[in-house]
Structure 1
Amino acid sequence: MAGAPEATVWRTFPYVSYLRVYEPLDAFDDAQQLRILDQRSRARHETEVLERSDAVRRLVRPVSDPFPHTSGDLVRVLHHPRPDGSTTRLYCPNQLAVRTSLAAESLGETVNGPLVDVLLPEVAREAHAARIDPDSFADSLAKLHTRSATWGVPFGWFILIHEDDATDVVEDDGRVLTVRMSAPIPQCIDRARHAAAALALAAPELDLLDELTDLVTWLEVFSPDAVLELDYGPVAELVYPDDSPSDVRLGIESLADGDMTGAAAAYRRLAGRWIPIRQLARAS
């Protein structure tokens, strides 16, 4: 159950979902471990409030500059359940400087004309680049712990997660703020490889096959003791309880079995659930 401060800040953001990798402490270097130890006792909802409050402050600056100006980095803590009933504490660094750089690059590729300079002034981009340590940037880029998606969850992400995985429903006053599902990395990789093998034979033309290949490549760089978390974000309020993980899996199984009727039915369920949400991105 989330507290009121988290719910208030959550409402200020659009539908963004996240795929995060959490690793054990010994997977990080000494400097990262010190940052983690400083933050390991902070509750998850407090981290969410800190991140969103900081984002709001960056967006409302008098001069347009959405880039972070401090070197500090937030760390999320995941208490993942073990078979014996205990939990394992794992960590996901926010890597905000690198992720904002990638977001700015993506925006520059999708938005043309002077609007880019309005949203991301050249002086702000140059100042951000000057603040980044090249070695640290390269290391974070090679091992990026967080992926994000706006206006819906990519179908490929649902292949990594099953409906019976560990699930945390975050609510406030009867409203679902987000749903977080998590599973061990080796299990997620096996699921993606199995689905990719089925698609390679039954439907090699689907973009989903390339997406799965990319996800496996990304996940393989992390510790085998790591855990993957799918965080629906605010879109959970519109879809939860959500059958998407089973619908994606059933659709692929139907394709592999040559059952086009079953595959079409699974896709219709997914489309009926997610297309209206993605259309909100173009709503005025």
Structure 2
Amino acid sequence: MTGNLYHGQAGLPFSSALRIYEPLAAFPEGQQQTLREAGSRSVSRAAVENAELLASLGRITRPGGDPFPTGATDLVRILAAPRTDSPPGASPTAGGGLPDAGTPGTGHPDGLLYCPSQLVLRAGLAANALMEGIHGPLAQLLIPEEQRDKHQERIDDVRAHAGLGRVHTRASTWGIPFSWFCLFQESDPTDVVESEGHIVTVRIRATIGEALERVRYAVAHLALAAPDLDMLEDLTQLTEWLELFHAESTVELDYGAVADKVYPDESPMDVRLGIECLAEGDMTGAAAAYRRLASRWIPIRQLARAS
């Protein structure tokens, strides 16, 4: 399945994701049964990724000009809750399947954490952002108003039935925002998924408590040392987003296919060192950290404008 996923990504924009996995109790009662059923099926992570990719490609070629997901088969990613007796940086699992749940942690009676895809909500937010951006006029031609209105009805229906107020996934194309790396350290549990000599993706995880501690540290130091830095606003928004979720959640950075171009990746360390240098007034060290980041990621971002 991972081989199909790798070949299916060929020619597509690099897409990465930042996801929040929450315990069952964090979701509305009406949604919990659906999540339990997804957990009982024990579908491998590779199968979920492949199904989502095939569904997205299918929407592009769907007759009638409606590119939006209907939500009829929304997918759920599942992660084993961290073991309460596991040391930081414990050995990760390889491949795309579910890791061993081990001993369920406090607040995780089924030993699992859940991240619903929420494609209906996310597609609506993405379309709105596109309409408000510099390519708005082109987007209006590609996505007719009739289809946007129809999708708004789907969003209203999803919100009415599921009561969803939090979007569990943030996505980025052609590179990973530097602010995301503030949530992780090189010692965090990491999965490297490979197929046919290529890296399909790399996934790094941290508890939401660890992620919040790290991002608040970064915000506090940048606010004093570099208050005009664009990254400070990104980190502030990221903090506000993380604070919406259950205290026993897990945060995951999924590199996607870009991992094959950049891994092994020292970006979390470079971002952390850059912030520490700024806090200490070491402009030379901060500049060196940024140069390392730029040499790694600017060529990836330039691919977005390549013909």
Normalising by structure 1, we get a TM-score of 0.94
Aligned residue in 2 for 1:84:
85
TM-superposed CA distance for 1:135, in Å, is: 6.9
Greater Cα shift, 124-133 or 3-12 = 3-12
Aligned residue in 2 for 1:13:
12
Q: Distance in 1 between matches of 2:240 and 2:259?
A: 27
Does the CA contact (< 8 Å) of 1:64 and 1:118 recur in 2? no
Alpha-carbon spacing, 1:117–1:63, altered in 2? closer, same or farther (3 Å): farther
TM-superposed CA distance for 1:247, in Å, is: 0.2
Q: What stretches of structure 1 of length at least 5 have no aligned partner?
A: none
Alpha-carbon spacing, 1:139–1:50, altered in 2? closer, same or farther (3 Å): same
Letter in 2 for 1:58: R
Does 1:122 pair with 2:154?
no
Equivalent positions of 1:170-209 (< 5 A) are 170-209=193-232
Equivalent positions of 1:97-108 (< 5 A) are 97-108=120-131
- Note the alpha carbon deviations across 1:180-213, whole angstroms, 9 max, x for none: 0000001100100111111111111101111111
Does the CA contact (< 8 Å) of 2:262 and 2:296 recur in 1? yes
Q: Distance in 1 between matches of 2:71 and 2:214?
A: 39
TM-superposed CA distance for 1:83, in Å, is: 5.0
Q: Distance in 1 between matches of 2:3 and 2:300?
A: 25
Q: Distance in 1 between matches of 2:167 and 2:136?
A: 30
Does 1:222 pair with 2:221?
no
Does 1:283 pair with 2:282?
no
Q: Distance in 1 between matches of 2:210 and 2:222?
A: 18
Aligned residue in 1 for 2:92:
none
Normalising by structure 2, we get a TM-score of 0.87
TM-superposed CA distance for 1:26, in Å, is: 1.3
Aligned residue in 2 for 1:36:
35
Q: How many residues align?
A: 282
Does 1:148 pair with 2:167?
no
**Aligned-CA RMSD value:** 1.8
Which of residues 154, 161, 164 in structure 2 aligns to 1:131?
154
Aligned residue in 1 for 2:184:
161
Does 1:264 pair with 2:287?
yes
SS of residue paired to 2:204: strand
Q: Which runs of 4+ in 1 moved over 6 A?
A: none
Does 1:46 pair with 2:65?
no
Letter in 2 for 1:98: L
Does the CA contact (< 8 Å) of 1:65 and 1:120 recur in 2? yes
Aligned residue in 2 for 1:250:
273
Greater Cα shift, 167-176 or 113-122 = 113-122
- Note the alpha carbon deviations across 1:35-80, whole angstroms, 9 max, x for none: 1122111111111111111100000123322101243321100125
Does the CA contact (< 8 Å) of 1:10 and 1:177 recur in 2? no
Does the CA contact (< 8 Å) of 1:94 and 1:146 recur in 2? yes
